[in-house]
Structure 1
Amino acid sequence: MSDRRILRMASTGARVLAGALVSAVFVTAVVTAVAIPWPTHTQAPVQVTAQPAPASTVVVCGGPLLALGRNASNAAALSVAATQSLAVGVPDGDPAPTESTLAVPDARGAGPTVLTAAPQDGVRSEVAGAGSASVQASDLAGLAASSCQSPRMESWLVGGATTTGASDLVLLANPGAVAATVDLTVYGALGAQVPPGGRGVVIPPASERVLPLAGLILGEQAPVVHVEASGAPVRAALQTSLTRTLVPGGVDQVSAVSSADKLQIIPGVAVIAQAAQTSTDNPTTVLRVLSPLADATATVTVVGSTGATELTQKIPLKAGLPAELELAGLPAGVHTVRVAADQRIVSAVWSTTGFGQGADFAWYPAAPEIAASTLFAVPAGPSSVLSIANPGTAPVAVKLTPVGGAVRSVTIPAGRAVDVPVSPLATYTLDPQGGAKVRATISYSRVGGSGTTGDALAAIPVWPSDAAAHGIVVYPG
């Protein structure tokens, strides 16, 4: 063999060996790269938080008491039976709100008052208002009280009736600059119905429409009305009154229930001993409850002011059918009603001072949750009391401060309510501490009035103050 061939073979072997070594190194590198985590990079989306310019705070008051059928030539005409006395308050140092009046094409006389508070130093302002009206006439008698509330796109009216002797009115107020269109769904013995008179009801800007409840559904013992607005929010309320064989049996302005929920708390329910003692056939305290969407089971618990449980009962609920439960056997005093269900419900309690001349009644709607400092006003009325309920399982503390006055600390035991006297025509701040959540109602009661006074019973749930506008997160495209 020649030296050239030997050299060629050695050169070829060296190339094969080098290639094998390179391949081995490459494979090792790939395997190692797979085994070792690669560096990662997450690109957060670009976002900008924009704070909307604060809007004015606008609340609409209940307005005067209205009477139906006082005009002999027009039985369907509405007229003012009693004007509303207002209590209005703002935080210390803030200017007074501006006041305006809504037009009421359906009634003769003054309409409800609108309170508008402009922002101060780039921060949304608070304003509180509430009103009361008292009347003693042959067709209408009693005390009515209501708070001034922000208009909403949805609300529930739990109360009233369209049976013989009832004369109830649905009040729909639009304080905005554009028209609102409202659909009313009435829940009764036949379930949910949208009557022709409740579909597409147009409320012009800066005005209020008044609709007789009997014109929507007739012969209902326990109706519930669902109010849905489009175009602009509305403030919905119910004026309810009753006449028994030509004797007026009371009047009330019923605040809306803000939303359906699985837990409803109704503080401040007054049970009048006189009514329970003189009535054997008629219930004097009744709970009305509706599960609008699904069958449910509700547990009703009534707790007295001492913390004693006075009643516990389960009631079945059929979807869309209002149910009523007589709260019989309760001792006289102020009570808290708790309604817990496995589906969303709305509820309210009716109570009366009696069934004879001079009697009055009140509806106590479920109170909304208060989780932050809230400003509220107390209108004129007898024996005004603030009932603060703690539905939680641990004691909570709240601070109750009259505007311009000293702070009062109140501790509320778990599952109970505390009743605190409040001054008429005063404004207070209710501030739950440490993330606590409470419910509250202002209630009035007077029994045994003489002359032109008569009995008086009324209640106003305390609504949380409007929260400041939250920032809006914008993701640029």
Structure 2
Amino acid sequence: MSEKRKYRTSRTRSERIRSGRLRRRPEGQRPSPKEVLAGAWASLREASPRSLGASVGPLLSLALAAGATGLTLGAPMVPVAPVNPVRTQPLAAPDRDILLICPPAAGNGLEVADYDQVRQASLLAVQDGATASFEGEALPSGSPQVQDFAEGGVLSVKHNGSSPAEGMGHSATLMEAGDLRGLATAACTAPRSTAWVVAGSTRPGSYAELRLSNPGNTTVTASVQAYGSTGPVDLPGGGQVAVPSGQTESVYLGTSSATSPDGRLAVHVTTDGGALGVHLVDETLDGETAAGMEVVSAGADPATEQLVPGVVLVEAEQQGQAASGPVSSDQPLVRLANPAEVPATVKVSLLGADGEWVLPGAESLTVDPGAVFDVSLAGVAPGTYALRTTSDQPVAAAVQLVRSAGEYPARSGALLHDRAWLQASTADLSLGADITLPRHWGLSPQLALANSSPQRRVVTLRAVGEEWSSQMVLEPGATAVPEDLPETVSALTASADGEGVHGAVVVTTEVTGETAGTLVSALPAVPGAQAQASRHVLLR
């Protein structure tokens, strides 16, 4: 089992001297070959994972030269030329088969008595002409396939040389009333060897279940690390989970006494070499008041810049922010997780129809090492936004949306509400993305696109199973909603003529009766076949 990676920042020679790692030598005294080698290996140990690849070549060359020639140190030291920063560039690889994990319905983790009222559905769509199967059974290409159940499974799409291996899907769960009143949707996503989910709660009345699915032929061992508001959380068994071939294992994240009292949660999953589907089931009951459910797909790994599209905000009293009277236990917020061993300074900004602006009070937030931090979105005008974070250390990010209703039960002081979690985007439309639009039971999906680049972008949308396509222009640093998307389209591909465009779908429905109100869920745009087949190469 490999040791858990620790994120560290490289320190300069002067910083290591101050910390006691190096001692100053007298003025004019030259280093010995042994000291040069020791300094080289110390630099390697101090290097961050990102800089290690750029450092190891020059340092090994120095070590070999010292061993072979004795390294003439009597002459003046030769200045070292500056090293250009290492970056990565995604290059499209030849088309290949793709594999997607489609999650099952939310379930009944809270074991409520009225779960028999639940409704489930799923959708699978494959590009016309491609060969596909779901759980080993052939799946027609072209028109999306809709089922009235959501058991989950593996979607396999083969590249046949003439049609792209493009497939997509989602599951949906609806409870219009009862203790689990809420709407949950979850996208089919590719298995990953490392995954982050920034969502959920471990406060009383909450249920957080991590689902790990193994589509491979051998057992995969996963390491699960949870984070709370005060730092890393110890999990039973050290967070080690063995996932047999073709099976799904669940990890309940509320069993540790070390979970933070405010319930903030972020989860990191790594594997010992295989790849797993990763989803988080989030169910909450606020005393006797339903507080929603969601199934959340993994988002982007920690980075110094993140973008969360699909942040659709409504009037304050409709999202748990009433100034007086009954209250909601949840409100719209941005959640930040800092896995580094040093504090992270983060700036939060919003991209709207008229451009980008910094969230007041979030110009320079400090997130402690290993901690999860929530920032309220109270006071932001209703509208469709994308949220951008920039930071000096890699952080993971997500946004919680809330839709609240009336007080229930009467005189409880608590508002009925539902929640949706939007993760930092993993799909840049420059390499293509797949998007599904849940329309089961009269659901209303809204596609939101955001352009985080400084250039204007043109986005092309194409329906799967229908002869429909459209183009729209996105201004720099702005968001937009397609106006001409037909109500008959439930699956589409999206592409952009440059980097920086991301998308997400916010799904709502209105329920009636004693617990009337709006339910909400969200789906990400998923990297398409070209993006999944791309390879990152080092550029200097």
The bucket for the TM-score relative to the shorter chain is: 0.7 to 0.9
Name whichever of 110-119 and 126-135 sits farther off.
110-119
Query: Is residue 379 of structure 2 the alignment partner of residue 337 of structure 1?
Result: no
User: Which residue in the other structure is 2:417 paired with?
Assistant: 359
Who is 2:173 aligned against? 133
Separation in structure 2 between the aligned mates of residue 121 and residue 228 of structure 1, nearest angstrom: 33
Residue of 106, 120, 123 corresponding to 1:87 = 123
Name which of 42, 45, 65 aligns with 2:106. 65
2:303 maps to which of 253, 261, 276: 261
Task: Determine the structure 2 residue equivalent to 1:163.
Answer: 203
Amino acid at match of 2:439: A
Structure 2 residue 337 is the aligned partner of structure 1 residue 290? yes
Residue 165 of structure 2 aligns with an amino acid whose one-letter code is: S
Correspondent of 2:495 among 431, 455, 470: 431
Q: Is the 8 A contact 1:52 1:472 kept in 2?
A: no
1:227 aligned counterpart, secondary structure: strand
TM-score by length of 1: 0.78
> CA offset at residue 306 of structure 1?
4.4
Q: Taking structure 1 as reference, are residues 375 and 270 closer, same or farther at Cα in structure 2, changes over 3 Å only?
A: closer
Aligned-residue identity in percent? 24
For residue 269 of structure 2, what is the amino acid of its counterpart?
V
CA offset digits 1:292-345 (Å, max 9, x no partner): 113221111123344474734221121211111111111223222111111111
Matches within 5 A, 1:12-31: none
Which structure 2 residue ranges, 5 or more long, are not aligned?
1-91, 138-148, 409-415
What's 1:32 paired with? none
CA distance in 2, matches of 1:393, 1:446: 35
Determine if the alignment matches structure 1 residue 415 to structure 2 residue 477.
yes
User: Is the Cα contact below 8 Å between 2:343 and 2:368 reproduced in 1?
Assistant: yes
CA 1:452/1:414 → structure 2, altered by over 3 Å: closer, same or farther? same
Query: Are residues 1:444 and 2:502 paired?
Result: no
- The residue matched to 2:453 in structure 1 has which SS? coil
Q: 1:472 to 1:211 in 2, by over 3 A?
A: closer
Q: Structure 2 residue aligned with 1:379, among 438, 445, 449?
A: 438
Q: Is the aligned partner of 1:458 residue 2:521? A: yes
Q: How does 1:102-113 map to 2 (within 5 A)?
A: 111-113=151-153
Give, in angstroms, the shift of residue 186 of structure 1.
1.1
The residue identity in structure 1 corresponding to 2:379 is G
Measured at CA, do residues 275 and 298 of structure 1 come closer, stay the same or move farther in structure 2, by a change above 3 Å? same
In structure 2, give the amino acid aligned to 1:347.
Answer: A
Take 2:150 and 2:125, find their aligned partners in 1: how far apart are those partners? 22
User: Which residues in structure 2 correspond to 1:199-238 (within 5 Å)?
Assistant: 199-216=239-256, 218-220=259-261, 221-238=263-280
- Could you tell me which runs of 5 or more consecutive residues in structure 1 were left unpaired when the two chains were aligned: 1-50, 73-78, 102-108
Q: Is the 8 A contact 1:399 1:431 kept in 2?
A: yes
Partner AA of 2:121 in structure 1: S
Determine helix, strand or coil for the equivalent of 2:319: helix
Q: Please give the alpha-carbon distance, in whole angstroms, between the structure 1 residues aligned to 2:522 and 2:366.
A: 28
Shift of 1:268: 1.2
Cα RMSD after superposing both structures: 3.0
SS of match in other structure, 1:97: strand
CA contact (8 A) 2:131 2:159 kept: no
SS in 1 for 2:254: helix
Q: Distance in 2 between matches of 1:100 and 1:213?
A: 32
Number of equivalenced pairs: 409
Distance 1:57-1:364 versus aligned 2 partners, 3 A rule: same
Q: 1:63–1:83: 8 Å Cα contact kept in structure 2?
A: no
Does the Cα contact within 8 Å between 1:131 and 1:380 map onto a contact in 2?
no
Q: TM-score, normalised by structure 2?
A: 0.69
